[in-house]
Structure 1
Amino acid sequence: MTLESTETGRATLADLFTPVDLGALRVPNRFAMAPMTREFSPEGTVTDEVISYYARRAAAGVGLLITEGVYVSEDSGPSIRVPRLFGEPQLEAWKRLVEAVHAEGGLIAPQLWHLGAERGDHPQYNSDLPTLSPSGLSSSGKTRGRAATIAELERIRDDFARAAAAAKAAGFDAVELHGAHGYLLDQFLWEGTNRREDSYGGSLEARTRFPAEVAAAVRAAVGPEMPVIFRFSQWKSGDYTARIAKTPAELELLLGALAEAGVSVFHASTRRHWEPAFPEAEGPEAQLGLAGWAKKVTGLPSIAVGSVGLNQAFQVAFQEGGRAETAGLEPLLDQFARGEFDLMAVGRVLLSDPAWVAKVRDGRFGEIRSFHAEDRETLS
């Protein structure tokens, strides 16, 4: 299958259960677990319940699990219940989690996370440390924290690299950098939150510089073989119409710089995976989703995500009392037939039903549980 295919044929479910290579890492099927923040890790340490939560999904056939966002430093975020990738008890617990996932035949990557301005001005975790970002602006345009100095950016870069090295030492199979949704790396990429006047701000090339430096440091820390995934999005938490790349050419420039720095897989976060990323494009390319464009402009593997198997986007289903019913996978199969993605990440369906992948594999669609907002509050 190639991106250039114009055939209207649809892939089969069996096609989604074929292996794929992410560099030296062979993933047994095309399903990944999307990262979902749960805050079930007191003092930043994953518990036995969290370990079982991931192991259950590995046992049910998820090809690659991407963890919830994991703090890389003391000033990464506001919560004392988000897991961390530093500290002896935290790293020992991660080793046990990785071992449990591997014992079930699964693969796993941590999502390395720094919230930048979204950490807020009054964090519960390390409230004495400043909130740092490119320009002291949140994605909604509010003043929050302050702009990081060059020395502070170098320290944050090194924190990402140190966390990546710790992940490799703990036995993880890959690492993902969270460069989406208006968090720190994305705050550099988007002109709405990056108003810097030094070499890290201004043009798209300059705005990409710091995320690329982080990617290069992470690549150096994990070596040439370990997959380094970069999750990116156009939309921000407070602005669903935002775009970091207004044209395919801008997307190629941005992702090309990250690929050159060492990123080997792109995880294109969208609210609805089937929606065209650049509908104004001409010809067959007009139907490509964001993951399809990422693969086209870089030639690297891509991960798609966004309302897979559900009839509501997350911001509706996550409201109190919200729910999303199961939906068919026809759009997914159409995209796969066109070669738009290598892996499809699923989130809410795996919260509501840990065995979702196995049920899809076996054709047991009538047994799939619909998503309810309260599923976020459990570790089932």
Structure 2
Amino acid sequence: MSHLFPHLFAPITLGPVTIRNRIVSSGHDTVLDDHGRIGDDLVAYHEARAKGGCGLIVLQVSGVHETARYTNHVLMATDESSVPGYTAVAEAVHRHGATIFAQLFHPGREVMDGERGMAPRAVAPSDEPQERFKVVPEALSTATIKDIIAGYAAAAKRIADSGIDGVEIVASHGYLPIQFFNPRINTRTDEYGGSPENRRRFLAEVVEGVRAAVGPEVVVGLRISGEDKTEDGLVSAEVLELIGALDAMECDGVDCLDYFSITAGDSSTLQGAVHIVPSMQVEAAYATNLSEQVKKITDKTVMVAGRINQPHEAEAAIAEGRTDMAIMTRAMICDPGIAGKAERDAVDEIRACIGCNQACIGHFQLGVPISCIQYPESGRELIFLPRPRVRTRRRVLVIGGGPAGLKAAAVAAEQGEEVTLCEARPHLGGAVLLAQELPYRSEFGGAATNLSAEARRAGAELRTSTPVTQALVDEIAADYVIVATGARQRMPHLEIADDALVIGAREFLETEPVLPDGRVLVTDWKGDWIGLGIALRLAEARVPVTLATAANFAGAAIQQYTRTLLMSQALRTGRIDFVDDVRPVGLDADTGYLQSTLCEVVHEVEGVAAAIVSAAPQSVRPELDFGPASVQVIGDALAPRTVEEAVFEGLTAATELAAAGADQTVPA
């Protein structure tokens, strides 16, 4: 039992099931399905979290009706072919002492994908359009409504009979059940519209049908947004009214529902969608104020999601009565073993999620399997785990202490290699240390802290302020060399007159120069955090800014929810002008010249006092003789990209070291 987190590791009973601790991995789409079914990849993904000590795992959404296909990779529980997958994942999770539930889902009008690239077709209570995905749904007939309600019950029984411990009805984030309840979306005049009782009817009948299908020996819960936080969305008072009515329902003498899972936000607008997976700009554990309100009106178990990334945040929320269980989904994508580490009070070993959203929800929105920029083993468990161990230790020299080099050093040392990492600068972390200097990006530095600590714990020797010379190479005489020297700032060719002040983005972040009074032109080649972040930093310091990007729009390369918050913050300053689809070509005493990337038009920005240029970086590689050593180049030294690719290539490079001596390895 943990001494630091006694509330977090106290068992809890939901209906007929006792869960070993209060840590929850909530339902989240992984894109690890096997043609709409649960396959080996998804089983291995959830087994890793169960093995890591998680108390409750909730599977991603399972469609209950053919009209519930909101993406092309959604799990479907509409026929018996789905049963073997649920059985397999239940057995894998139970092997490690964890509990597992599955979500029952219908998106209504919240449909992302159409058939083979066609526009999405969706159904909903009424034909009110959806803003975010630009969907105009078909109003449901009464007969189809009844069919969908029956689909919830049939899917619930199918899942429960497969060995899953409970089912969770998804009424959060503006999905179908809550669409019926929202009077701004549901304009029906029949038994499913109009009065609050009629608007509750769909969800009430779903709950009753599910409980009747699974009986009292299976847990039944409800996931719901405590507040939609968007235009025309439900406010907390409306949601609490609905929860109160559902809380009072009994089904054949037992409670219809065993728990409420509280979150925030709504999928139908960008403003509301940011709360589905809140990024690092959002305060930790911010949604516990919503779960606290729910706890005041129900005696049933309440769990909550919303940026709970550390065990101390979860412990405080439970101890203070704001929730009974803490949903820590992204924390476990980043570190599947976080629960076990917290239980033995090994908090220094935890790899903390930084809320970047890049490889988790960012991958999902690209339609590819989710992972983590810090821990690319997530979602790739069958490829990289368990880690091999080498029988014959070899000398490995890693040149560069950025994210690529640190990951390579950590994994190679964990496999049993003798690893020396040399970094020319006084600090480890590389470009990550620059990223944390941007507004609302300070947590990003945690990636460097985490990777450095992992490499040290694995036994790698980490040398800072140590440029790699030929003499050092000869002294170490490594068998393998991993070059991870990163990239340098590159400046584009510009016509500069009148001694106009032009500064590179990296130089600006490293040196914080004093700029002359007046408008600053920030040029941005990629549409990522750098240009938008620098512009926001200047604007918040009351400097007028023109942000000129070669992308289609500012922040185009940033994950959608993160960009939405950044842009809202930028717009609120009132000091940033945006120019899209342009590249910088020149600057004189007071004018910046921008060439359209689309045609011959040149745009002039007047009143410019200085320019800060974010251009494509340039790879850096040492010119050294490594003798007979095998050499791999990774990360930005290979080709400038992002932290995600750097860490992944560090992992693959170290893994390939073990594979190179496959006859000399044994499983860890």
TM-score higher than 0.5: yes
Tell me by how many angstroms 1:90 deviates. Answer: 2.0
Tell me by how many angstroms 1:140 deviates. Answer: 3.1
Distance 2:68 2:239 in 1: 27
1:351 aligns with 2:333: yes
- 1:329 pairs with 302, 305, 312, which one? 312
Q: Structure 1 residues 242 and 106 mapped into 2: Cα distance closer, same or farther (>3 Å)?
A: farther
Kindly report which structure 2 residues correspond to 1:5-84, keeping only aligned pairs within 5 A, or say none. 12-84=4-76
Structure 2 counterpart of 1:374: 359
Partner letter of residue 76 of structure 1? A
Tell me by how many angstroms 1:364 deviates. Answer: 2.5
Structure 2 counterpart of 1:187: 179
Tell me the secondary structure at the aligned position of residue 191 of structure 1.
coil
Answer yes or no: is the 8 Å Cα contact 1:190–1:243 preserved in 2.
yes
Partner letter of residue 259 of structure 2? V
Partner letter of residue 244 of structure 1? L
Structure 1 counterpart of 2:421: none
1:296 aligns with 2:296: yes
Distance 2:337 2:158 in 1: 30
Deviation per CA, 1:288-321, whole angstroms, max 9, x where unpaired?
Answer: 7222222221221111111002xxxxxxxxxxxx
Distance 1:50 1:124 in 2: 24
Deviation per CA, 1:35-87, whole angstroms, max 9, x where unpaired?
Answer: 11112213211111110111111111111100111111211023332212133
Tell me by how many angstroms 1:235 deviates. Answer: 4.6
Distance 1:204 1:358 in 2: 45
1:162 aligns with 2:151: no
1:258 aligns with 2:246: yes
Deviation per CA, 1:83-103, whole angstroms, max 9, x where unpaired?
Answer: 121333321121111111111
Distance 1:130 1:328 in 2: 42
Tell me the secondary structure at the aligned position of residue 202 of structure 2.
helix
Answer yes or no: is the 8 Å Cα contact 2:113–2:120 preserved in 1.
no
Structure 1 counterpart of 2:234: 244
Distance 1:340 1:354 in 2: 25
Tell me the secondary structure at the aligned position of residue 15 of structure 1.
coil
Distance 1:84 1:96 in 2: 15
Tell me by how many angstroms 1:121 deviates. Answer: 7.8
Partner letter of residue 339 of structure 1? G
Deviation per CA, 1:126-166, whole angstroms, max 9, x where unpaired?
Answer: x8996211112355386522111111100000000000000
TM-score, normalization by structure 2: 0.47
Distance 1:80 1:297 in 2: 39
Q: Structure 1 residues 131 and 291 mapped into 2: Cα distance closer, same or farther (>3 Å)?
A: same
Deviation per CA, 1:148-204, whole angstroms, max 9, x where unpaired?
Answer: 111110000000000000011101101001100011112112223222222222333
Partner letter of residue 37 of structure 2? T
- 2:123 pairs with 127, 132, 139, which one? 132
Query: For structure 1, which segment, 364-373 or 94-103, has the greater mean C-alpha deviation from structure 2 after superposition?
Result: 364-373
Query: For structure 1, which segment, 207-216 or 289-298, has the greater mean C-alpha deviation from structure 2 after superposition?
Result: 289-298
Q: Structure 1 residues 358 and 85 mapped into 2: Cα distance closer, same or farther (>3 Å)?
A: same
Answer yes or no: is the 8 Å Cα contact 2:90–2:163 preserved in 1.
yes
Answer yes or no: is the 8 Å Cα contact 1:180–1:269 preserved in 2.
yes
Structure 2 counterpart of 1:94: 86
Structure 2 counterpart of 1:269: 263
Structure 1 counterpart of 2:111: 119
Partner letter of residue 267 of structure 1? S
Partner letter of residue 123 of structure 2? L
Structure showing greater Rg: 2
Distance 1:122 1:200 in 2: 27
Partner letter of residue 148 of structure 1? L
TM-score, normalization by structure 1: 0.81
Partner letter of residue 173 of structure 2? H
Deviation per CA, 1:204-237, whole angstroms, max 9, x where unpaired?
Answer: 332211111101100100102321110000455x
Distance 1:51 1:226 in 2: 21
Tell me the secondary structure at the aligned position of residue 35 of structure 2.
helix
Structure 2 counterpart of 1:315: none
Distance 1:266 1:176 in 2: 9
1:307 aligns with 2:307: yes
Structure 2 counterpart of 1:338: 320
Query: For structure 1, which segment, 61-70 or 134-143, has the greater mean C-alpha deviation from structure 2 after superposition?
Result: 134-143
Partner letter of residue 220 of structure 1? A
Partner letter of residue 321 of structure 2? G
Partner letter of residue 299 of structure 2? G
Partner letter of residue 308 of structure 1? I
Structure 1 counterpart of 2:634: none
- 1:232 pairs with 206, 224, 233, which one? 224
Q: Gaps spanning 5+ residues in structure 2: where?
A: 251-255, 265-274, 276-282, 364-369, 372-378, 381-668
Query: For structure 1, which segment, 50-59 or 39-48, has the greater mean C-alpha deviation from structure 2 after superposition?
Result: 39-48
Answer yes or no: is the 8 Å Cα contact 1:139–1:182 preserved in 2.
no
Tell me the secondary structure at the aligned position of residue 14 of structure 1.
coil
Q: Structure 1 residues 104 and 181 mapped into 2: Cα distance closer, same or farther (>3 Å)?
A: same
Partner letter of residue 353 of structure 1? D
Tell me the secondary structure at the aligned position of residue 66 of structure 2.
coil
Answer yes or no: is the 8 Å Cα contact 2:4–2:345 preserved in 1.
no
Distance 1:41 1:93 in 2: 10
1:207 aligns with 2:199: yes
Q: Gaps spanning 5+ residues in structure 1: where?
A: 1-10, 277-287, 310-326
Tell me the secondary structure at the aligned position of residue 59 of structure 2.
strand
Tell me by how many angstroms 1:335 deviates. Answer: 2.6
Structure 1 counterpart of 2:488: none
Distance 1:138 1:235 in 2: 20
Structure 2 counterpart of 1:321: none
Answer yes or no: is the 8 Å Cα contact 1:109–1:176 preserved in 2.
yes
Structure 2 counterpart of 1:284: none
Partner letter of residue 141 of structure 2? T
Query: For structure 1, which segment, 341-350 or 129-138, has the greater mean C-alpha deviation from structure 2 after superposition?
Result: 129-138
Structure 2 counterpart of 1:281: none
Deviation per CA, 1:232-283, whole angstroms, max 9, x where unpaired?
Answer: 00455xx546652442xx444311322315122100113467447xxxxxxx
Distance 2:315 2:96 in 1: 27
Tell me the secondary structure at the aligned position of residue 109 of structure 2.
helix
Taking CA–CA contacts closer than 8 Å with sequence separation of 6 or more, which of the two structures ends up with the larger relative contact order? 1
Q: Structure 1 residues 296 and 12 mapped into 2: Cα distance closer, same or farther (>3 Å)?
A: farther
Partner letter of residue 104 of structure 2? L
Answer yes or no: is the 8 Å Cα contact 1:84–1:90 preserved in 2.
yes
Tell me the secondary structure at the aligned position of residue 215 of structure 1.
helix
Distance 2:18 2:244 in 1: 24
Q: Percent identity?
A: 29
Q: Structure 1 residues 16 and 189 mapped into 2: Cα distance closer, same or farther (>3 Å)?
A: same
Tell me the secondary structure at the aligned position of residue 266 of structure 1.
strand
Deviation per CA, 1:112-134, whole angstroms, max 9, x where unpaired?
Answer: 11111112583459x89962111
